[in-house]
């Protein structure tokens, strides 16, 4: 029988919200595949150019003020479009502008004239995942004058086809001629006006000297042993950062202070190795705090600390239980999410069987099984629900109750998945993006009283919300399942081979 240890807690140190303030410009009303920094254009080499105007009232409503320095920009990508190569040319300009609309067929050369190039790369890529796509300025920062609108201009040049064309971006309500776009095999100077703009997110500097810790790439969840402890130090103020003190601890035990010295321009980051730590089986918490930037008080202490708790464990194997009346310890998980977290941290080395203790439910949670190493022909995962129910309140972006993200050799038996409250859509069991050798047997998905086509029982697709965006699936087996209500019972979209 496999063993686990103590109570699991993993703090995700990811995302884009680093620094003093990240302001959201405008309120998104929809998503669109054709309006964003890039789109689902045809295959082959393309040059895409986009621009949009964001008004003083929108900037002020977001919390921006005169003299704010912008470090970075982000767009929220809701589709899984991506580019796996590293040869994209990506350029971003910002510009203050007094007008709120564009003249007929604005010229790209004219619009970039007088603009500040804030980001440029010739080896860019776009991840095939949803979430914020952030570009930390690497050529110039940009200071808002407080009285003019801001124009955002982008150019993306790709030498070959997209890896995945399912792009979609959060967009603002349409206004007349506030955006323009063009694309073609070669750069097209004449832009076509449009009113639909993507929502953008600006990162704003602190007014003063401000050092921030924005991440801890190491250590990571793995087997017992020594690991380096690294933190990401970022200058989130508007002055050059030359020095800072970093205090850190391992499981509450203080380590020697690290005195960093260097030169970081506003917005720049550096990876700092604090030392190493010997991590034993169980749960290890590493905390780091930065202070004394340039020997002075820090403008914004709220971004000074980063903490990470990781599971140090050997790969799972054998038989376990899920029982919410018992803590996660020994061979029991308190929840489906505890199980998913351990699988992501520890992986598997042989077959794993998880029995949900009869009559221990219902379980009120959403769970995403992903990033599980070791799965294959000799190491599978089987969850026996034993008639228990799992349900949850879902959102427009997280519609699933159970999601299997890019997993293989995974079986779910004898579980009841029940619809809870939802915003605009709901999925009982979602096979997401790709999967193989997955079996769902004797499962009941109860969607009553819903009849919407946005409500589905068992869905396989390549998009986090859409039922009709392709994924890649093989050897999918659905046997003796009961689907009650809803608009879609079982729906597979994409390249797949399956048995019913």
Per-residue 3-state assignment (H helix, E strand, C coil) for 159-222: CCCCCECCCCEEEECCCCCCEEEEEECCCCCECEEECCCECEEEEECCCCCCEEEEEEEECCCC
Do the beta carbons of residue 159 and residue 44 sit within 8 Å? no
CATH T-level topology, domain 211-312? Immunoglobulin-like (2.60.40)
Three-state DSSP state, 483:
strand
> In the block, which residue shows the tokens 């709220």?
302
| Predicted pLDDT of residue 500 | 47
Residue 484 CB partners (closer than 8 Å, separation 6+)? 444, 445, 446, 447, 448
User: Which pTM value belongs to this model?
Assistant: 0.59
Task: Give the CATH number of domain 21-204; options: 3.40.50, 1.10.287, 2.30.29, 2.60.120.
Answer: 2.60.120
Helix (H, G, I), strand (E, B) or coil at 340: helix
For 41, the 3-state DSSP assignment is: coil
The neighbouring-strand residues paired with 186 are none
Domain ranges of the chain: 21-204, 211-312, 316-499
The class of domain 316-499 in CATH terms is mainly beta
Give 4's DSSP letter: B
Per-residue confidence (pLDDT) for residue 487, from 0 to 100: 75
Interatomic CA distance for residues 454 and 463, integer angstroms: 13
Q: What is the DSSP letter of 390?
A: E
Determine the 3-state secondary structure of 400 from DSSP: strand
The beta-strand segments (E) located in 414-452 are: 416-419, 426-441, 444-446
* Closest C-alpha to 37, from 20, 51, 24: 51
Residues 6+ apart with CB under 8 A from 302: none
Task: Give the total residue count for the chain.
Answer: 500
Residue 13: the pLDDT is 28
Separation CA 304–CA 298 (nearest Å):
9
Task: Give the list of residues 6+ apart from residue 13 with CB closer than 8 angstroms, or none.
Answer: 215, 216, 306, 308
Rounded Cα distance between 474 and 247, Å, is: 50
| SS3 label, residue 345 | helix
- Per-residue b/e over 259-269, b at no fewer than 16 CB within 10 Å? ebeeebebbbb
Q: 17 CB contacts (<8 Å, ≥6 apart)?
A: none
pLDDT at 8: 29
Classify the C-alpha dihedral 51-57-63-66 as positive or negative: positive
- How far, in whole angstroms, is CA 222 from its chain's centroid? 22
At residue 371, the 3 state secondary structure works out as coil
pLDDT at 425: 78
- Mean pLDDT in consecutive groups of 10 residues from the start of the chain, 500 residues: 34 35 88 82 88 96 93 90 90 97 94 96 91 90 96 95 86 91 91 93 90 93 90 92 97 97 92 95 90 94 92 89 91 94 91 98 96 94 98 84 96 94 82 94 88 84 80 92 85 54
Q: Which two tokens stand for residue 398?
A: 């997280």
Spatial distance between the Cα atoms of 16 and 402, rounded to a whole number of angstroms:
26
Torsion angles phi and psi, residue 266, rounded to 5: -50, 130
Q: Is 213 exposed, middle or buried (0-12, 13-18, 19+ CB in 10 A)?
A: buried
- Grouping H, G, I as helix, E, B as strand and the rest as coil, residue 115 is coil
């Amino acid at each position: 029988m496999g063993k686990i240890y103590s109570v699991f807690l993993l703090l995700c140190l990811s995302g884009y919200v680093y620094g003093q303030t990240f302001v959201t410009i405008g309120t998104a009303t929809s998503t669109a595949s054709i309006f964003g920094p890039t789109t689902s254009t045809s295959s082959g080499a393309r040059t895409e150019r986009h621009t949009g105007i964001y008004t003083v009232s929108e900037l002020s409503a977001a919390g921006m003020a005169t003299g704010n320095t912008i470090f970075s920009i982000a767009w929220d990508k809701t589709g899984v479009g991506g580019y796996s190569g590293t040869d994209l040319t990506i350029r971003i300009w910002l510009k203050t502008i007094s007008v709120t609309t564009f003249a007929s067929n604005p010229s790209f050369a004219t619009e970039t004239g007088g603009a500040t190039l804030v980001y440029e790369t010739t080896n860019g890529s776009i991840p095939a995942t949803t979430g914020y796509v952030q570009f930390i300025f690497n050529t110039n920062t940009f200071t808002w004058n407080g009285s003019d609108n801001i124009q955002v201009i982008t150019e993306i040049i790709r030498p070959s086809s997209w890896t995945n064309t399912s792009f979609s971006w959060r967009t603002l309500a349409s206004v007349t001629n506030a955006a323009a776009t063009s694309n073609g095999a070669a750069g097209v100077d004449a832009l076509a006006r449009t009113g639909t703009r993507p929502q953008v997110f600006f990162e704003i500097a602190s007014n003063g000297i401000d050092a921030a810790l924005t991440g801890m790439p190491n250590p990571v969840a793995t087997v017992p042993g020594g690991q380096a402890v690294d933190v990401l130090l970022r200058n989130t103020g508007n002055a050059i950062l030359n020095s800072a003190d970093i205090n850190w601890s391992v499981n509450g035990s203080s380590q020697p202070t690290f005195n960093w010295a260097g030169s970081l321009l506003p917005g720049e980051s550096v990876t700092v190795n604090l030392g190493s730590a010997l991590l034993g089986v169980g749960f290890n918490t590493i905390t780091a705090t930065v202070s004394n930037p340039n020997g002075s008080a820090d403008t914004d202490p709220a971004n000074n600390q980063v903490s990470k708790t990781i599971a140090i464990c050997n790969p799972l194997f054998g038989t376990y239980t899920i029982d919410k009346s018992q803590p996660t310890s020994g061979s029991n998980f308190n929840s489906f999410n505890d199980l998913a977290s351990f699988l992501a941290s520890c992986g598997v080395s042989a077959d794993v069987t998880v029995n949900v203790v009869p009559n221990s439910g219902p379980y009120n949670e959403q769970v995403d099984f992903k990033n599980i190493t070791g799965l294959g022909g000799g190491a599978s995962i089987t969850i026996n629900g034993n008639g228990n129910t799992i349900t949850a309140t879902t959102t427009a972006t997280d519609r699933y109750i159970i999601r299997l993200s890019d997993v293989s050799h995974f079986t779910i038996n004898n579980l009841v998945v029940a619809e809870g409250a939802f915003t605009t859509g709901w999925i009982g069991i979602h096979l997401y993006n790709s999967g193989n050798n997955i079996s769902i047997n004797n499962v009941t998905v109860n969607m009553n009283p819903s009849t919407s086509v946005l409500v589905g029982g068992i869905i396989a697709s390549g998009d986090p919300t859409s039922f009709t965006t392709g994924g890649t699936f093989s050897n999918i087996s659905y046997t003796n399942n009961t689907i009650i209500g809803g608009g879609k019972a079982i729906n597979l979209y994409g390249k797949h081979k399956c048995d019913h």
